[in-house]
Structure 1
Protein backbone atom coordinates (compact mmCIF):
# COMPACT_ATOMS: atom_id res chain seq x y z
CA UNK A 1 0.00 0.00 0.00
CA UNK A 2 1.06 3.57 -0.62
CA UNK A 3 2.63 5.27 2.36
CA UNK A 4 1.71 8.83 3.25
CA UNK A 5 3.46 11.65 5.01
CA UNK A 6 2.86 11.82 8.77
CA UNK A 7 2.04 15.53 8.36
CA UNK A 8 -1.23 14.66 6.52
CA UNK A 9 -4.38 14.87 8.60
CA UNK A 10 -6.35 11.88 9.83
CA UNK A 11 -10.10 11.68 9.27
CA UNK A 12 -12.34 10.68 12.19
CA UNK A 13 -15.39 8.96 10.72
CA UNK A 14 -17.35 9.63 13.90
CA UNK A 15 -19.95 7.87 15.97
CA UNK A 16 -23.16 8.99 14.24
CA UNK A 17 -24.58 9.36 10.75
CA UNK A 18 -26.97 12.10 9.63
CA UNK A 19 -30.18 10.13 10.10
CA UNK A 20 -33.17 10.67 12.37
CA UNK A 21 -32.31 7.92 14.90
CA UNK A 22 -28.65 8.95 14.99
CA UNK A 23 -29.62 12.59 15.54
CA UNK A 24 -31.66 11.48 18.53
CA UNK A 25 -28.72 9.41 19.87
CA UNK A 26 -26.39 12.37 19.36
CA UNK A 27 -28.75 14.55 21.42
CA UNK A 28 -28.80 11.93 24.19
CA UNK A 29 -24.99 11.69 24.21
CA UNK A 30 -24.58 15.47 24.22
CA UNK A 31 -27.08 15.78 27.07
CA UNK A 32 -25.27 13.08 29.03
CA UNK A 33 -21.91 14.78 28.43
CA UNK A 34 -23.28 18.11 29.65
CA UNK A 35 -24.78 16.45 32.72
CA UNK A 36 -21.43 14.74 33.35
CA UNK A 37 -19.55 18.03 33.28
CA UNK A 38 -22.10 19.74 35.53
CA UNK A 39 -22.26 16.80 37.97
CA UNK A 40 -18.51 16.51 38.36
CA UNK A 41 -18.13 20.29 38.60
CA UNK A 42 -20.73 20.27 41.39
CA UNK A 43 -18.81 17.51 43.20
CA UNK A 44 -15.62 19.59 43.01
CA UNK A 45 -17.49 22.66 44.28
CA UNK A 46 -19.06 20.84 47.22
CA UNK A 47 -15.78 19.19 48.26
CA UNK A 48 -13.96 22.52 48.03
CA UNK A 49 -16.55 24.54 49.98
CA UNK A 50 -17.66 22.14 52.72
CA UNK A 51 -15.00 21.73 55.40
CA UNK A 52 -16.56 18.42 56.50
CA UNK A 53 -15.45 17.00 53.14
CA UNK A 54 -11.83 18.11 53.55
CA UNK A 55 -10.58 14.57 54.13
CA UNK A 56 -8.31 12.28 52.08
CA UNK A 57 -11.33 10.26 50.91
CA UNK A 58 -13.05 13.28 49.38
CA UNK A 59 -9.80 14.73 48.08
CA UNK A 60 -9.31 11.53 46.06
CA UNK A 61 -12.93 11.76 44.94
CA UNK A 62 -12.32 15.33 43.76
CA UNK A 63 -9.40 14.09 41.65
CA UNK A 64 -11.70 11.45 40.14
CA UNK A 65 -14.21 14.18 39.24
CA UNK A 66 -11.42 16.29 37.72
CA UNK A 67 -10.23 13.37 35.59
CA UNK A 68 -13.77 12.66 34.42
CA UNK A 69 -14.33 16.30 33.46
CA UNK A 70 -11.10 16.34 31.44
CA UNK A 71 -12.03 13.03 29.79
CA UNK A 72 -15.38 14.33 28.57
CA UNK A 73 -13.87 17.68 27.52
CA UNK A 74 -11.21 15.92 25.44
CA UNK A 75 -13.63 13.71 23.50
CA UNK A 76 -17.02 15.41 23.13
CA UNK A 77 -16.18 18.81 21.55
CA UNK A 78 -14.32 17.19 18.63
CA UNK A 79 -17.06 14.59 18.19
CA UNK A 80 -19.75 17.29 18.19
CA UNK A 81 -17.82 19.47 15.73
CA UNK A 82 -17.43 16.52 13.39
CA UNK A 83 -21.13 15.72 13.46
CA UNK A 84 -22.57 19.25 13.37
CA UNK A 85 -20.05 21.08 11.15
CA UNK A 86 -18.40 18.23 9.28
CA UNK A 87 -14.96 19.05 10.74
CA UNK A 88 -13.73 15.45 10.80
CA UNK A 89 -10.06 16.02 10.06
CA UNK A 90 -7.55 16.05 12.88
CA UNK A 91 -3.84 16.82 12.61
CA UNK A 92 -1.23 14.28 13.75
CA UNK A 93 -0.19 16.62 16.58
CA UNK A 94 -3.78 16.97 17.81
CA UNK A 95 -4.30 13.23 17.43
CA UNK A 96 -1.17 12.50 19.46
CA UNK A 97 -2.25 14.99 22.12
CA UNK A 98 -5.66 13.35 22.33
CA UNK A 99 -4.08 9.91 22.77
CA UNK A 100 -1.74 11.29 25.44
CA UNK A 101 -4.54 12.93 27.44
CA UNK A 102 -6.91 9.96 27.21
CA UNK A 103 -4.31 7.37 28.18
CA UNK A 104 -3.04 9.63 30.99
CA UNK A 105 -6.55 9.99 32.38
CA UNK A 106 -7.41 6.31 31.94
CA UNK A 107 -4.20 5.07 33.55
CA UNK A 108 -4.33 7.71 36.25
CA UNK A 109 -7.91 6.82 37.12
CA UNK A 110 -7.09 3.13 37.51
CA UNK A 111 -4.39 3.89 40.09
CA UNK A 112 -6.56 6.54 41.73
CA UNK A 113 -9.32 3.97 42.24
CA UNK A 114 -6.71 1.71 43.87
CA UNK A 115 -5.73 4.55 46.20
CA UNK A 116 -9.40 5.07 47.07
CA UNK A 117 -9.76 1.38 47.90
CA UNK A 118 -6.76 1.62 50.25
CA UNK A 119 -8.39 4.64 51.89
CA UNK A 120 -11.58 2.64 52.51
CA UNK A 121 -9.56 -0.33 53.80
CA UNK A 122 -7.84 1.86 56.40
CA UNK A 123 -11.10 3.60 57.36
CA UNK A 124 -12.96 0.33 57.91
CA UNK A 125 -10.23 -1.99 59.20
CA UNK A 126 -8.02 0.48 61.13
CA UNK A 127 -10.22 3.48 62.00
CA UNK A 128 -8.20 4.51 65.05
CA UNK A 129 -4.98 4.60 63.03
CA UNK A 130 -6.54 6.34 60.02
CA UNK A 131 -4.72 9.71 60.50
CA UNK A 132 -1.39 7.84 60.52
CA UNK A 133 -1.99 5.20 57.84
CA UNK A 134 -3.81 7.61 55.53
CA UNK A 135 -2.00 10.87 56.17
CA UNK A 136 -2.34 13.87 53.89
CA UNK A 137 1.26 13.38 52.81
CA UNK A 138 0.55 9.83 51.67
CA UNK A 139 -2.69 10.94 50.02
CA UNK A 140 -0.87 13.59 47.97
CA UNK A 141 1.87 11.13 47.02
CA UNK A 142 -0.68 8.59 45.76
CA UNK A 143 -2.47 11.30 43.79
CA UNK A 144 0.73 12.57 42.14
CA UNK A 145 1.82 8.99 41.43
CA UNK A 146 -1.51 8.25 39.73
CA UNK A 147 -1.15 11.23 37.42
CA UNK A 148 2.55 10.49 36.78
CA UNK A 149 2.09 6.80 35.91
CA UNK A 150 -0.78 7.63 33.61
CA UNK A 151 1.27 10.37 31.91
CA UNK A 152 4.24 8.03 31.35
CA UNK A 153 1.99 5.47 29.65
CA UNK A 154 0.27 8.21 27.65
CA UNK A 155 3.57 9.67 26.45
CA UNK A 156 4.88 6.27 25.38
CA UNK A 157 1.74 5.40 23.43
CA UNK A 158 1.32 8.77 21.73
CA UNK A 159 4.96 9.13 20.66
CA UNK A 160 5.31 5.52 19.47
CA UNK A 161 2.01 5.55 17.59
CA UNK A 162 2.79 8.70 15.61
CA UNK A 163 6.24 7.44 14.63
CA UNK A 164 4.80 4.70 12.39
CA UNK A 165 4.56 5.21 8.62
CA UNK A 166 0.89 5.33 7.64
CA UNK A 167 -0.81 4.16 4.48
CA UNK A 168 -2.77 6.28 2.03
CA UNK A 169 -5.99 5.16 3.71
CA UNK A 170 -6.10 7.54 6.66
CA UNK A 171 -9.70 7.22 7.80
CA UNK A 172 -10.05 6.31 11.49
CA UNK A 173 -13.32 4.45 12.10
CA UNK A 174 -13.79 6.11 15.48
CA UNK A 175 -14.87 9.41 17.03
CA UNK A 176 -11.52 10.14 18.70
CA UNK A 177 -7.89 9.12 18.29
CA UNK A 178 -7.17 5.88 20.10
CA UNK A 179 -3.86 4.03 19.79
CA UNK A 180 -5.33 0.57 18.91
CA UNK A 181 -7.42 2.11 16.11
CA UNK A 182 -4.52 4.18 14.75
CA UNK A 183 -2.11 1.23 14.69
CA UNK A 184 -4.41 -0.55 12.24
CA UNK A 185 -3.55 2.07 9.61
CA UNK A 186 0.23 1.62 9.88
CA UNK A 187 2.11 0.31 6.84
CA UNK A 188 4.68 -1.61 8.85
CA UNK A 189 4.90 -4.47 11.29
CA UNK A 190 3.49 -3.19 14.61
CA UNK A 191 3.51 -6.49 16.48
CA UNK A 192 6.32 -5.47 18.86
CA UNK A 193 4.56 -2.23 19.77
CA UNK A 194 1.22 -4.02 20.18
CA UNK A 195 2.80 -6.56 22.52
CA UNK A 196 4.40 -3.79 24.58
CA UNK A 197 1.11 -1.87 24.63
CA UNK A 198 -0.69 -5.03 25.76
CA UNK A 199 1.80 -5.51 28.61
CA UNK A 200 1.38 -1.86 29.64
CA UNK A 201 -2.40 -2.26 29.64
CA UNK A 202 -2.10 -5.37 31.79
CA UNK A 203 0.07 -3.50 34.29
CA UNK A 204 -2.09 -0.37 34.25
CA UNK A 205 -5.31 -2.34 34.71
CA UNK A 206 -4.64 -5.57 36.56
CA UNK A 207 -2.13 -4.29 39.11
CA UNK A 208 -4.56 -1.65 40.45
CA UNK A 209 -7.48 -4.08 40.11
CA UNK A 210 -5.59 -6.69 42.15
CA UNK A 211 -4.94 -4.10 44.88
CA UNK A 212 -8.61 -3.11 44.85
CA UNK A 213 -9.82 -6.71 45.13
CA UNK A 214 -7.35 -7.40 47.95
CA UNK A 215 -8.49 -4.28 49.83
CA UNK A 216 -12.15 -5.14 49.52
CA UNK A 217 -11.60 -8.75 50.50
CA UNK A 218 -10.12 -7.49 53.77
CA UNK A 219 -12.91 -4.92 54.12
CA UNK A 220 -15.59 -7.57 53.61
CA UNK A 221 -14.04 -9.79 56.27
CA UNK A 222 -13.91 -6.85 58.70
CA UNK A 223 -17.50 -5.73 57.98
CA UNK A 224 -18.89 -9.22 58.56
CA UNK A 225 -17.33 -9.20 62.04
CA UNK A 226 -18.84 -5.83 63.00
CA UNK A 227 -21.36 -5.96 65.84
CA UNK A 228 -22.93 -2.58 65.13
CA UNK A 229 -25.63 -2.77 62.47
CA UNK A 230 -25.34 0.97 61.78
CA UNK A 231 -21.54 0.77 61.30
CA UNK A 232 -21.98 -2.22 59.00
CA UNK A 233 -24.64 -0.40 56.96
CA UNK A 234 -22.47 2.72 56.58
CA UNK A 235 -19.42 0.68 55.55
CA UNK A 236 -21.44 -1.25 52.96
CA UNK A 237 -22.99 1.95 51.57
CA UNK A 238 -19.66 3.72 51.12
CA UNK A 239 -17.81 0.72 49.72
CA UNK A 240 -20.60 -0.38 47.39
CA UNK A 241 -20.49 3.07 45.73
CA UNK A 242 -16.77 2.68 45.10
CA UNK A 243 -17.17 -0.87 43.82
CA UNK A 244 -19.86 0.29 41.38
CA UNK A 245 -17.44 2.82 39.89
CA UNK A 246 -14.66 0.20 39.81
CA UNK A 247 -16.89 -2.28 37.99
CA UNK A 248 -17.96 0.26 35.36
CA UNK A 249 -14.45 1.58 34.73
CA UNK A 250 -12.45 -1.66 34.68
CA UNK A 251 -15.16 -3.62 32.86
CA UNK A 252 -15.18 -1.17 29.95
CA UNK A 253 -11.38 -0.79 29.92
CA UNK A 254 -10.70 -4.55 29.92
CA UNK A 255 -13.29 -5.06 27.16
CA UNK A 256 -11.64 -2.35 25.06
CA UNK A 257 -7.94 -3.16 25.50
CA UNK A 258 -7.69 -6.81 26.51
CA UNK A 259 -9.63 -8.48 23.70
CA UNK A 260 -7.71 -10.33 20.95
CA UNK A 261 -7.71 -8.76 17.48
CA UNK A 262 -9.98 -11.47 16.08
CA UNK A 263 -12.78 -10.41 18.44
CA UNK A 264 -12.55 -6.69 17.68
CA UNK A 265 -15.03 -4.74 15.58
CA UNK A 266 -15.12 -1.00 14.97
CA UNK A 267 -18.81 -0.67 15.90
CA UNK A 268 -18.35 -2.46 19.23
CA UNK A 269 -15.23 -0.43 20.02
CA UNK A 270 -17.05 2.85 19.40
CA UNK A 271 -20.01 1.91 21.59
CA UNK A 272 -17.80 0.78 24.49
CA UNK A 273 -15.56 3.84 24.10
CA UNK A 274 -18.62 6.10 24.27
CA UNK A 275 -19.65 4.29 27.43
CA UNK A 276 -16.39 4.80 29.35
CA UNK A 277 -15.53 8.27 28.01
CA UNK A 278 -19.00 9.86 28.26
CA UNK A 279 -21.53 7.80 30.22
CA UNK A 280 -19.37 6.46 33.05
CA UNK A 281 -18.03 9.92 34.01
CA UNK A 282 -21.65 11.07 34.26
CA UNK A 283 -22.63 8.16 36.49
CA UNK A 284 -19.77 8.62 38.97
CA UNK A 285 -21.11 11.76 40.71
CA UNK A 286 -24.60 10.23 40.80
CA UNK A 287 -23.31 7.03 42.40
CA UNK A 288 -21.32 8.89 45.05
CA UNK A 289 -23.94 11.56 45.81
CA UNK A 290 -27.00 9.29 45.96
CA UNK A 291 -25.28 6.73 48.20
CA UNK A 292 -23.38 9.18 50.43
CA UNK A 293 -25.12 11.04 53.25
CA UNK A 294 -22.21 13.48 53.73
CA UNK A 295 -22.31 14.59 50.09
CA UNK A 296 -26.10 14.95 50.24
CA UNK A 297 -25.70 17.00 53.41
CA UNK A 298 -23.17 19.28 51.74
CA UNK A 299 -25.50 19.72 48.77
CA UNK A 300 -28.43 20.65 51.03
CA UNK A 301 -26.21 23.14 52.88
CA UNK A 302 -25.05 24.70 49.60
CA UNK A 303 -28.64 24.98 48.37
CA UNK A 304 -29.72 26.42 51.71
CA UNK A 305 -32.36 23.71 52.23
Structure 2
Protein backbone atom coordinates (compact mmCIF):
# COMPACT_ATOMS: atom_id res chain seq x y z
CA UNK A 1 0.00 0.00 0.00
CA UNK A 2 2.87 2.35 0.77
CA UNK A 3 4.49 1.60 -2.58
CA UNK A 4 1.24 2.42 -4.37
CA UNK A 5 0.86 5.65 -2.39
CA UNK A 6 4.44 6.65 -3.20
CA UNK A 7 4.07 5.87 -6.91
CA UNK A 8 0.85 7.86 -7.27
CA UNK A 9 2.26 10.78 -5.25
CA UNK A 10 5.49 10.95 -7.27
CA UNK A 11 3.53 10.66 -10.50
CA UNK A 12 1.27 13.59 -9.59
CA UNK A 13 4.17 15.69 -8.30
CA UNK A 14 6.41 15.10 -11.30
CA UNK A 15 3.52 15.96 -13.61
CA UNK A 16 2.93 19.26 -11.80
CA UNK A 17 6.65 20.07 -11.79
CA UNK A 18 7.03 19.32 -15.48
CA UNK A 19 3.95 21.41 -16.31
CA UNK A 20 5.30 24.30 -14.21
CA UNK A 21 8.72 23.99 -15.85
CA UNK A 22 7.17 23.99 -19.32
CA UNK A 23 5.09 27.07 -18.53
CA UNK A 24 8.15 28.85 -17.14
CA UNK A 25 10.18 27.99 -20.25
CA UNK A 26 7.41 29.22 -22.55
CA UNK A 27 7.07 32.45 -20.57
CA UNK A 28 10.84 32.95 -20.60
CA UNK A 29 11.22 32.26 -24.31
CA UNK A 30 8.25 34.38 -25.39
CA UNK A 31 8.85 37.33 -23.03
CA UNK A 32 10.58 40.21 -24.79
CA UNK A 33 13.88 41.30 -23.31
CA UNK A 34 13.62 44.94 -22.34
CA UNK A 35 17.24 45.32 -21.30
CA UNK A 36 18.62 45.65 -24.88
CA UNK A 37 15.96 48.26 -25.67
CA UNK A 38 17.03 50.34 -22.69
CA UNK A 39 20.70 49.96 -23.55
CA UNK A 40 20.00 50.91 -27.17
CA UNK A 41 18.57 54.24 -26.09
CA UNK A 42 21.06 54.68 -23.28
CA UNK A 43 22.56 57.90 -24.64
CA UNK A 44 19.14 59.53 -24.79
CA UNK A 45 18.35 58.42 -21.27
CA UNK A 46 21.75 59.61 -20.10
CA UNK A 47 20.93 63.15 -21.24
CA UNK A 48 17.95 63.24 -18.91
CA UNK A 49 20.09 61.75 -16.15
CA UNK A 50 22.61 64.56 -16.65
CA UNK A 51 19.82 67.05 -15.99
CA UNK A 52 18.98 65.33 -12.71
CA UNK A 53 22.69 65.33 -11.81
CA UNK A 54 22.93 69.09 -12.41
CA UNK A 55 19.82 69.68 -10.29
CA UNK A 56 21.16 67.47 -7.49
CA UNK A 57 24.53 69.24 -7.42
CA UNK A 58 22.84 72.64 -7.45
CA UNK A 59 20.60 71.70 -4.53
CA UNK A 60 23.53 70.29 -2.54
CA UNK A 61 25.68 73.40 -3.12
CA UNK A 62 22.95 75.86 -2.25
CA UNK A 63 20.98 74.10 0.51
CA UNK A 64 23.04 71.10 1.62
CA UNK A 65 21.70 67.75 2.77
CA UNK A 66 18.53 69.28 4.23
CA UNK A 67 17.76 70.83 0.88
CA UNK A 68 18.36 67.52 -0.87
CA UNK A 69 15.91 65.76 1.48
CA UNK A 70 13.34 68.51 0.85
CA UNK A 71 13.93 68.19 -2.89
CA UNK A 72 13.26 64.43 -2.81
CA UNK A 73 10.08 64.88 -0.79
CA UNK A 74 8.80 67.60 -3.13
CA UNK A 75 8.85 65.34 -6.18
CA UNK A 76 5.43 64.06 -7.36
CA UNK A 77 4.90 60.36 -6.69
CA UNK A 78 4.45 59.57 -10.39
CA UNK A 79 7.89 60.95 -11.36
CA UNK A 80 11.20 59.05 -11.20
CA UNK A 81 12.83 59.24 -7.80
CA UNK A 82 16.53 60.16 -7.61
CA UNK A 83 18.89 58.64 -5.05
CA UNK A 84 22.47 59.57 -4.23
CA UNK A 85 24.56 56.85 -2.61
CA UNK A 86 28.08 57.15 -1.28
CA UNK A 87 30.89 54.71 -1.89
CA UNK A 88 29.70 52.86 1.23
CA UNK A 89 26.29 52.51 -0.51
CA UNK A 90 24.63 54.78 2.06
CA UNK A 91 21.99 57.27 0.87
CA UNK A 92 22.46 60.96 1.53
CA UNK A 93 18.80 61.31 2.52
CA UNK A 94 17.14 59.19 5.18
CA UNK A 95 14.43 56.78 4.11
CA UNK A 96 13.95 53.40 2.44
CA UNK A 97 16.00 52.60 -0.62
CA UNK A 98 14.84 49.92 -3.08
CA UNK A 99 17.26 46.97 -3.29
CA UNK A 100 17.66 47.42 -7.04
CA UNK A 101 18.91 50.99 -6.44
CA UNK A 102 21.62 49.68 -4.15
CA UNK A 103 22.57 46.99 -6.68
CA UNK A 104 22.78 49.49 -9.51
CA UNK A 105 24.79 51.97 -7.39
CA UNK A 106 27.31 49.22 -6.67
CA UNK A 107 27.67 48.53 -10.40
CA UNK A 108 27.97 52.21 -11.26
CA UNK A 109 30.70 52.81 -8.67
CA UNK A 110 32.56 49.69 -9.84
CA UNK A 111 32.30 50.38 -13.61
CA UNK A 112 32.42 54.18 -13.57
CA UNK A 113 29.87 54.55 -16.37
CA UNK A 114 26.14 54.83 -17.04
CA UNK A 115 24.33 51.60 -16.17
CA UNK A 116 20.76 50.38 -16.59
CA UNK A 117 19.00 47.74 -14.45
CA UNK A 118 15.57 46.29 -15.24
CA UNK A 119 13.50 44.24 -12.84
CA UNK A 120 9.92 43.15 -12.47
CA UNK A 121 8.74 46.08 -10.37
CA UNK A 122 10.58 48.80 -12.28
CA UNK A 123 13.91 49.85 -13.71
CA UNK A 124 16.69 52.26 -12.81
CA UNK A 125 19.53 54.14 -14.50
CA UNK A 126 22.61 55.44 -12.78
CA UNK A 127 25.86 57.30 -13.27
CA UNK A 128 28.78 58.50 -11.20
CA UNK A 129 28.62 61.85 -9.49
CA UNK A 130 31.18 63.99 -7.68
CA UNK A 131 29.75 65.63 -4.58
CA UNK A 132 30.54 69.23 -3.68
CA UNK A 133 33.06 67.98 -1.07
CA UNK A 134 34.94 66.12 -3.80
CA UNK A 135 33.86 62.59 -2.83
CA UNK A 136 32.57 60.22 -5.53
CA UNK A 137 29.01 58.99 -5.37
CA UNK A 138 26.37 57.32 -7.52
CA UNK A 139 23.23 59.02 -8.77
CA UNK A 140 20.45 56.49 -9.47
CA UNK A 141 17.11 57.39 -11.01
CA UNK A 142 14.43 54.86 -10.04
CA UNK A 143 11.36 54.37 -12.25
CA UNK A 144 8.34 52.54 -10.81
CA UNK A 145 6.13 50.54 -13.13
CA UNK A 146 2.43 51.52 -13.12
CA UNK A 147 0.01 49.50 -11.06
CA UNK A 148 1.87 49.68 -7.74
CA UNK A 149 0.69 52.01 -5.02
CA UNK A 150 2.92 55.07 -5.08
CA UNK A 151 4.64 56.32 -2.00
CA UNK A 152 4.76 52.98 -0.19
CA UNK A 153 7.76 50.69 -0.71
CA UNK A 154 7.11 46.97 -1.09
CA UNK A 155 7.25 44.91 2.11
CA UNK A 156 10.71 43.80 3.10
CA UNK A 157 9.77 40.13 3.03
CA UNK A 158 8.43 40.47 -0.51
CA UNK A 159 11.53 42.24 -1.73
CA UNK A 160 13.74 39.68 -0.05
CA UNK A 161 11.89 36.49 -0.99
CA UNK A 162 10.17 37.18 -4.30
CA UNK A 163 12.64 39.33 -6.16
CA UNK A 164 14.04 38.11 -9.42
CA UNK A 165 15.46 34.64 -9.16
CA UNK A 166 15.21 34.22 -5.41
CA UNK A 167 14.96 30.50 -4.47
CA UNK A 168 12.27 31.02 -1.81
CA UNK A 169 9.62 31.39 -4.51
CA UNK A 170 10.72 28.05 -5.96
CA UNK A 171 10.62 26.41 -2.52
CA UNK A 172 7.09 27.69 -1.91
CA UNK A 173 5.99 26.37 -5.30
CA UNK A 174 7.48 22.96 -4.51
CA UNK A 175 5.84 22.94 -1.08
CA UNK A 176 2.39 23.92 -2.37
CA UNK A 177 2.54 21.48 -5.28
CA UNK A 178 3.64 18.68 -2.94
CA UNK A 179 0.75 19.47 -0.58
CA UNK A 180 -1.81 19.42 -3.40
CA UNK A 181 -0.42 16.17 -4.79
CA UNK A 182 -0.45 14.66 -1.29
CA UNK A 183 -4.15 15.48 -0.87
CA UNK A 184 -4.97 14.05 -4.30
CA UNK A 185 -2.99 10.89 -3.57
CA UNK A 186 -4.68 10.39 -0.20
CA UNK A 187 -8.10 10.85 -1.77
CA UNK A 188 -7.29 8.03 -4.20
CA UNK A 189 -5.49 5.62 -1.88
CA UNK A 190 -7.79 5.93 1.16
CA UNK A 191 -10.68 4.03 -0.55
CA UNK A 192 -8.21 1.43 -1.80
CA UNK A 193 -6.95 0.95 1.75
CA UNK A 194 -10.51 0.54 3.03
CA UNK A 195 -11.20 -2.07 0.35
CA UNK A 196 -8.00 -3.88 1.28
CA UNK A 197 -8.91 -4.02 4.97
CA UNK A 198 -12.42 -5.18 4.13
CA UNK A 199 -11.03 -7.92 1.87
CA UNK A 200 -8.73 -9.14 4.65
CA UNK A 201 -11.60 -9.19 7.16
CA UNK A 202 -13.80 -11.07 4.68
CA UNK A 203 -11.04 -13.59 4.02
CA UNK A 204 -10.67 -14.09 7.79
CA UNK A 205 -14.26 -15.33 7.96
CA UNK A 206 -16.18 -12.17 8.86
CA UNK A 207 -18.70 -12.55 6.09
CA UNK A 208 -20.79 -9.62 7.34
CA UNK A 209 -18.04 -7.14 6.33
CA UNK A 210 -19.24 -4.29 4.08
CA UNK A 211 -17.58 -1.10 2.81
CA UNK A 212 -20.26 0.68 0.77
CA UNK A 213 -21.57 2.85 3.61
CA UNK A 214 -18.11 4.08 4.70
CA UNK A 215 -16.37 4.41 1.35
CA UNK A 216 -15.67 7.97 0.18
CA UNK A 217 -13.72 9.07 -2.84
CA UNK A 218 -13.78 8.74 -6.59
CA UNK A 219 -17.02 7.54 -8.18
CA UNK A 220 -15.36 4.52 -9.77
CA UNK A 221 -13.90 3.43 -6.43
CA UNK A 222 -17.28 3.88 -4.75
CA UNK A 223 -18.83 1.66 -7.42
CA UNK A 224 -16.07 -0.88 -6.82
CA UNK A 225 -16.98 -0.86 -3.13
CA UNK A 226 -20.64 -1.41 -3.99
CA UNK A 227 -19.65 -4.35 -6.20
CA UNK A 228 -17.64 -5.75 -3.31
CA UNK A 229 -20.69 -5.48 -1.03
CA UNK A 230 -22.88 -7.30 -3.54
CA UNK A 231 -20.25 -10.03 -3.90
CA UNK A 232 -19.96 -10.32 -0.10
CA UNK A 233 -23.72 -10.56 0.29
CA UNK A 234 -23.91 -13.28 -2.36
CA UNK A 235 -21.05 -15.30 -0.83
CA UNK A 236 -22.50 -14.90 2.66
CA UNK A 237 -25.87 -16.14 1.42
CA UNK A 238 -24.27 -19.15 -0.29
CA UNK A 239 -22.19 -20.08 2.74
CA UNK A 240 -25.14 -19.61 5.09
CA UNK A 241 -27.32 -21.74 2.83
CA UNK A 242 -24.67 -24.44 2.70
CA UNK A 243 -24.37 -24.53 6.49
CA UNK A 244 -28.14 -24.64 6.88
CA UNK A 245 -28.32 -27.47 4.35
CA UNK A 246 -25.71 -29.49 6.25
CA UNK A 247 -27.60 -29.02 9.51
CA UNK A 248 -30.91 -29.96 7.96
CA UNK A 249 -29.51 -33.03 6.23
CA UNK A 250 -27.76 -34.16 9.39
CA UNK A 251 -30.93 -33.80 11.47
CA UNK A 252 -33.04 -35.50 8.82
CA UNK A 253 -30.64 -38.46 8.65
CA UNK A 254 -30.45 -39.03 12.40
CA UNK A 255 -34.16 -39.83 12.69
CA UNK A 256 -34.09 -42.73 10.15
CA UNK A 257 -30.92 -44.03 11.78
CA UNK A 258 -32.59 -44.03 15.17
CA UNK A 259 -35.53 -45.98 13.76
CA UNK A 260 -33.09 -48.31 12.06
CA UNK A 261 -31.44 -49.01 15.42
CA UNK A 262 -34.80 -49.88 16.96
CA UNK A 263 -35.63 -52.13 14.03
CA UNK A 264 -32.28 -53.92 14.41
CA UNK A 265 -33.00 -54.56 18.08
CA UNK A 266 -36.35 -56.11 17.27
CA UNK A 267 -34.86 -58.14 14.43
CA UNK A 268 -32.22 -59.63 16.77
CA UNK A 269 -34.92 -61.00 18.98
CA UNK A 270 -36.66 -62.91 16.18
CA UNK A 271 -33.82 -63.59 13.76
CA UNK A 272 -32.27 -67.07 13.49
CA UNK A 273 -28.63 -67.64 14.32
CA UNK A 274 -27.44 -67.50 10.72
CA UNK A 275 -28.67 -63.85 10.37
CA UNK A 276 -27.03 -62.52 13.53
CA UNK A 277 -23.72 -61.82 11.74
CA UNK A 278 -25.50 -59.81 9.03
CA UNK A 279 -27.43 -57.83 11.63
CA UNK A 280 -24.17 -57.05 13.45
CA UNK A 281 -22.67 -55.74 10.24
CA UNK A 282 -25.73 -53.55 9.59
CA UNK A 283 -25.43 -52.19 13.13
CA UNK A 284 -21.73 -51.33 12.66
CA UNK A 285 -22.44 -49.48 9.40
CA UNK A 286 -25.29 -47.66 11.08
CA UNK A 287 -23.00 -46.55 13.89
CA UNK A 288 -20.40 -45.36 11.39
CA UNK A 289 -23.06 -43.40 9.54
CA UNK A 290 -24.27 -41.92 12.84
CA UNK A 291 -20.70 -40.88 13.74
CA UNK A 292 -20.30 -39.27 10.30
CA UNK A 293 -23.49 -37.27 10.79
CA UNK A 294 -22.28 -36.16 14.23
CA UNK A 295 -19.03 -34.90 12.66
CA UNK A 296 -21.01 -32.96 10.05
CA UNK A 297 -23.09 -31.33 12.78
CA UNK A 298 -19.95 -30.42 14.73
CA UNK A 299 -18.35 -28.95 11.60
CA UNK A 300 -21.47 -26.87 10.89
CA UNK A 301 -21.48 -25.53 14.46
CA UNK A 302 -17.77 -24.62 14.29
CA UNK A 303 -18.18 -22.80 10.96
CA UNK A 304 -21.14 -20.90 12.32
CA UNK A 305 -19.17 -19.83 15.41
CA UNK A 306 -16.19 -18.77 13.28
TM-score class, shorter:
under 0.3
More helix by share: 1
TM value normalised by structure 2: 0.22
TM value normalised by structure 1: 0.22
More strand by share: 2
